[in-house]
Amino acid sequence: MRSILIALAALAAMACGTKAGTASDTTKPAAATLAPATDVTALRALIDSAQARYIGAATSGDTATLSAMYTDDAIVQEPNRKGLHGRAEIEKSLAATFAGARIPSLKLKTEDLATGGDYAIETGSYEQTVQPKSGKAINDVGKYLVVWKKQADGSWKLFREIYNSDLPAKGM
């Protein structure tokens, strides 16, 4: 039921910057393969706007809008499930989630944003309420890590996402 977060999941996740063959074992860590830094203030405004769209789509059950926010090759790693690979799997998972529940409340809070070239790594926290079609509402709080990837048209999409709850697992 928590497949909505990215993890960002979370907005999810999130893989951050080198393509196969672009770095060798002798290169210095990360910074050696990243392009010049992105304007963090401008990127933060874009991510805030994307989060508002994400929350609106999640709370209205809009699978198409949510899935369009991911790259074609996105990966989402949800708790207690196998990873979702590609936008088609993500969209299928979102549709299944919305078939069995709705999300009346979702809050996302960016706590850190690091950038490098065409990638941005966001860490944050979430609060959400999931209302199954039958049964009690489930309130959850947790954290997420997402990698945003700049697209050829200048937009940013979710490339990697992982998230998990801060609440203890049932039976623990």
Evaluate whether residue 15 is within a structural domain: no
Evaluate whether residue 62 is within a structural domain: yes
Evaluate whether residue 24 is within a structural domain: no
Evaluate whether residue 21 is within a structural domain: no
Evaluate whether residue 49 is within a structural domain: yes
Evaluate whether residue 110 is within a structural domain: yes
Q: Which residues of the chain have pLDDT under 70?
A: 1-38, 172
Q: Which domain holds residue 135?
A: 30-165
Instruction: State how far the Cα of 154 lies from the Cα of 28, in Å rounded to an integer.
Output: 28
Query: What is the sign, positive or negative, of the torsion defined by CA atoms of 133, 134, 139, 144?
Result: negative
The CATH number of residue 148's host domain is: 3.10.450.50
Supply φ then ψ for residue 156, to 5 degrees: -120, 135
* Token pair in block for residue 145: 């890590």
Q: How many domains does the chain have?
A: 1
pLDDT digits (tens, 9 = 90+) for 79-129: 989 999 999 999 999 999 999 999 999 999 999 999 989 999 999 999 999
